[in-house]
Amino acid sequence: MNAGELSVYLRLDDFILSLTLQAPYEWGWQMHPMWGSGWVIGMMIMMALFWSAIIVAVILGMRWFVGQRKNSPIDSAMIILRERFARGEIEKDEFETKKRELT
């Protein structure tokens, strides 16, 4: 291959590369052009709302679960015992005995 043929091949190669390459990087060091469209801000707001809903659901679920444990049968029995003592149905010594049994 002589110098003339090599020159033709190099020019042909440059021409083919110029056809296949994409447009130059136009926005340089600026932000990505999709940021200007507004849909990205909407997506960020929706993501914040989604995670807020998840966090609120977890907190409410935990509060409900803890609230279920407060109404145990021992507490209701103690309430009934106090009511009976307040009405005068049982004496103080019987109240104290039953109270010790419940706790």
User: What ranges do the domains of the chain cover?
Assistant: 50-103
Alpha-carbon distance of 17 to 9, in angstroms, equals 12
- pLDDT confidence of 51, banded at 50, 70, 90? very high
49, with CB counted inside 10 A (0-12, 13-18, 19+), is: exposed
Between the CA of residue 21 and those of 10, 12, 15, 34, what are the distances in Å? Answer: 16, 14, 10, 22
Residue pLDDT, tens place only, 7-17: 776 676 777 66
- Identify the pLDDT of residue 56: 98
Per-residue pLDDT for 52 more than 70?
yes
Is-above-0.75 flag for pTM? no
pLDDT band at 50 (very low <50, low <70, confident <90, very high): very high
